[in-house]
Amino acid sequence: MTSTAFDDHERLQWAGKAAAYRDSFAALCAYPAGSLLDAAEVGAGVRVLDVGTGTGTVAALACARAAKVTAVDAEPSMLAIAGRRAPDAETRHAILPHLPFPAGSFDAVVANFVINHVGDPEAAVREMRRVVRPGGRLAVTIWPYPPPPAQQLWTTIFEAAAVPRPTDLPRVAPEKDFARDADGLAGLLGRAGLGDVRCDTITWTHRTHPEAWWAGPANGIGTAGTLLLRQDQATIARIRHHYDRHTDAYRDAGGELELPTAALLAVAPVD
Ligand SMILES: C[S@@+](CC[C@H](N)C(=O)[O-])C[C@H]1O[C@@H](n2cnc3c(N)ncnc32)[C@H](O)[C@@H]1O
C-alpha cells in the first residue's frame, strides 16, 4: 500500500494548518459528529478509533460519552490540538491506508470527512475495517457531489472573479475513485468487504460569521485555500469583493451566514 500523488498533496495541504482549520471549517465538519457516533453505536466503554481526527471534535464527543477513545491523524499539528481538546483520548500519528493496530482492536471505527482526503479510498476503508472486531461497526462521512450550496459558493465566487480552477492539482485516479453520492459511498464500502451498508444524506444549515467562512481559504484550507494563496493582492481583493456579493443572499438579520449544506453518512456492521 503506497501513497499516491494525491496523498502527497494532502500532506502538504494540511501541514501546519490545524489552528486555521479549528478556527474555520472544523465547525462545519462538527455537525454530523453525534450522528456518526450514534451510527457506530459509540457509548460508555466502547473502544472507538477516530481516524483523521483533525482538531478532535469527534474524539472529544466520544470521550464525553465515556467511550475508550483512540484518535489518529496524518498531520502532527492536528494531533497537538486534538490531544488538548480530548485529553482522555490516546492520540497517535497514523496515515491511511495504514493503521498501526492489530486486527480487531476496536469495537467501532469512525472517520468524519476523511475518506474524501485519501488517494485510495477502497484501501483506506479496507484498513479501517481490518481493525474493527467482528460484530463491531464502521461509520464514515463524506461531502456529496454535486456540492451543496455552502461548498458550491466558493466555485461561484472564483468564477465570478474570473480565477480559473487549478489544473495542476493531483486528483484521485479514476480507477480508484467513486461517485460521491449515497450509492457510490455504499458501493465503496461494499468493495472494501462490508455488507449491510446503510447510507443516508444529512442536511443542515451551517451558521457562521462571514469572516470565519472566509478565514478557511484565506489561511490555505481546502482547494479554495490552495487557489486563494496563489493569487496576488489585487486578485485576492477582487475575490473578496465577489465573496461579499455572493454571500449576501445568505446573511441573516444579524449579518451571520446561514449556509445550507449536506453530508453522506454510511455505516456497516463488520462480520
Ligand atoms: C476535513 S478534516 C476532518 C477532521 C475531523 N475528522 C473533523 O471532523 O473535524 C480531514 C482530516 O483528515 C486528515 N487526513 C487526511 N488524509 C489522511 C490520511 N491519509 N490518514 C490520516 N488522516 C488523514 C487530515 O490531516 C485532517 O485532519
Q: Which of 49, 174, 57, 55 is nearest to 121 (CA)?
A: 174
Across the range 179-208, mean pLDDT stands at: 98
List the domain boundaries for the chain: 5-145+172-207+261-269
Distance CA 134, CA 8 (A): 33
Q: Which of 71, 130, 141 is nearest to 104 (CA)?
A: 130
Is residue 177 scored above 70 in pLDDT?
Answer: yes
Helix (H, G, I), strand (E, B) or coil at 180: coil
Q: Which residue of 112, 114, 116, 143 sits with most ligand 1 atoms within 8 Å of its CB, as the best mutation to test the pocket? A: 114
Helix (H, G, I), strand (E, B) or coil at 103: coil
Helix (H, G, I), strand (E, B) or coil at 269: strand
Q: Which of 31, 74, 67, 27 is nearest to 49 (CA)?
A: 67
Q: What is the pLDDT of residue 1?
A: 57
Is residue 56 scored above 90 in pLDDT?
Answer: yes
Answer whether 25's CB lies under 8 Å from 150's CB: no
Distance 44 CA to ligand 1 centre (A): 25
Across the range 68-90, mean pLDDT stands at: 98
For residue 71, name the pLDDT band (cuts at 50, 70, 90): very high
Is residue 182 scored above 60 in pLDDT?
Answer: yes
Crossing angle of the two packed helices 210-218 and 233-247, in degrees rounded to 10? 150
Distance CA 21, CA 79 (A): 12
pLDDT digits (tens, 9 = 90+) for 89-111: 999 999 999 999 999 999 999 99
Q: Phi-psi category of 265—alpha, beta or left, where left has phi over 0 and alpha has psi -120 to 50? A: beta
Question: Which protein residue has the closest C-alpha to ligand 1 atom 26?
Answer: 54
Question: Which protein residue has the closest C-alpha to ligand 1 atom 13?
Answer: 52
Helix (H, G, I), strand (E, B) or coil at 218: helix
CATH code for residues 5-145+172-207+261-269: 3.40.50.150
The cell numbers describing 176, all together, are 480508484
Residue-by-residue DSSP string for 232-259: -HHHHHHHHHHHHHHHGGGB-TTS-EEE
State if pTM tops 0.95: yes
Residue 146 preceded by cis peptide, ω within 30: yes
Crossing angle of the two packed helices 76-85 and 57-64, in degrees rounded to 10? 30
Q: What is the pLDDT of residue 3?
A: 85
Tell which atom from ligand 1 comes closest to the C-alpha of 94.
21
